[in-house]
Structure 1
Amino acid sequence: MDNKEIGELFVKGQDCGQIVLEHFADRLGISHEEANRLASAFGGGIGIGETCGAVMGAMIVIGIKYGHLGQCDNLRKDEMTKKRSEFIQKWNNKHDACRCKELLGYDIGSEDGLHKILEEGLLFSVCPVLVNDTIDILEDII
């Protein structure tokens, strides 16, 4: 998927975490509808400029594929923890932060910040790169 395609999905209303999770939906055994619903609340760093939705989408992918089932499932929990750490390490090698406020330079959760992000085209220049980087990292580790 190229950055232009991702930008077009943003225009249609899809958010970064949704794009990431939907990319892996078939391999994870979930429908595209389920993928979009699962990741729907994470756009814009949960709407307040916190953790990037693409990173949150990655955590859902890792959780579905490697997540532990609660009590007495420590081997799976260890595997999931390793995959999560591997993702974060690879992310940090490419980006200085995982919070939207820092990645975009403005608070997407505020009216002024969102205006600046849109005015400067950051949603279409920065966010698609973050989505693609997330997908690439996941392709490498799962």
Structure 2
Amino acid sequence: MGEEGQKEGISRREMLKCSFCAGVALAAGGSLTEAAAAVDTKATSRNRPEAAKAHFIKSMSCSQAILETYAPVFGMKADHAAKLATGFAGGMGMGHECGAVTAAYMVLGLANGPKEKKVFPKLEAFNKAFKARHRELGCSQLLGVDMGTKAGMREASRKGLIKNRCPEYVKTAGELLEKMLA
């Protein structure tokens, strides 16, 4: 299986690790979905931005997609990251700062905190780079509708804005994090 497994993109060792994780999850009364989520948290720096984007597409939570992807790198369990990030999606549910951006702030804090002198320059650099790509940081501004209102949320849904634009914002946050964490 050596070379063939490598051509397929997964080594024998990775296959065994996935099988083991699935077996442990099932034995503990969990599901294969939980096992897959556990394996997903092992994403490498090369594919974490794409993993975060894929997570967003499944969950539609920008903040959870970023924090669940990156927090395990710093020893935080993905389920704890999901709970922590819940209130930050959709600009904290009010159309304010994009959830992918605020989750990236949390990741930068995990990597550089608790010293503000070390964290704040990283946040400033992140903001500058994100704005260079997307011109804005706020959810409502990025989507062009007031995400702080039910009417704005309906309009965003009707126009497919969240489904079509937000995955790229999540991916951008991941790409910028990769550069800043390297």
The reply to whether residue 134 of structure 1 matches residue 173 of structure 2 is yes
* TM, length-normalised to structure 2: 0.68
Q: What is the RMSD of the two structures over their aligned residues, measured on CA atoms?
A: 1.4
- The amino acid of 2:157's aligned partner reads L
The reply to whether residue 44 of structure 1 matches residue 90 of structure 2 is yes
Q: Which residue of 2 aligns with 1:71?
A: none
Which structure's CA Rg is the greater one?
Answer: 2
The reply to whether residue 111 of structure 1 matches residue 153 of structure 2 is no
**Which segments of 5 or more consecutive residues in structure 1 lack a partner in the other structure?**
69-75
Query: How many angstroms apart in 2 are the aligned matches of 1:101 and 1:9?
Result: 19
- The amino acid of 1:49's aligned partner reads G
**Which segments of 5 or more consecutive residues in structure 2 lack a partner in the other structure?**
1-49
Q: Which residue of 1 aligns with 2:138?
A: 99
Please give the residue correspondences for 1:1-142 in structure 2 after superposition, counting only pairs within 5 Å.
Answer: 1=50, 3=53, 6-10=56-60, 15-68=61-114, 76-142=115-181
Q: Any idea what the Cα deviations from partners look like across 1:46-96, whole Å, max 9, x if unmatched?
A: 11101000100001101111112xxxxxxx322212211111111111111
Report which structure shows greater RCO (CA 8 Å, sep ≥6).
1
Query: How many angstroms apart in 2 are the aligned matches of 1:4 and 1:67?
Result: 28
Query: How many angstroms apart in 2 are the aligned matches of 1:5 and 1:40?
Result: 14
- The amino acid of 2:132's aligned partner reads N
Q: Which moves more between the two structures, 80-89 or 122-131?
A: 80-89
Q: Aligned pair count?
A: 131
- Residue 28 of structure 1: how far off its partner (Å): 1.2
- Residue 136 of structure 1: how far off its partner (Å): 0.5
* TM, length-normalised to structure 1: 0.86
Query: How many angstroms apart in 2 are the aligned matches of 1:58 and 1:5?
Result: 15
Percent identical pairs in the alignment equals 30
Query: How many angstroms apart in 1 are the aligned matches of 2:120 and 2:55?
Result: 32
Q: Any idea what the Cα deviations from partners look like across 1:89-140, whole Å, max 9, x if unmatched?
A: 1111111111111100111221111111001101111111100000000011
Runs of 4+ more than 4 Å apart: 2-5
Query: How many angstroms apart in 1 are the aligned matches of 2:70 and 2:55?
Result: 16
- Residue 26 of structure 1: how far off its partner (Å): 1.7
Query: How many angstroms apart in 2 are the aligned matches of 1:36 and 1:63?
Result: 16
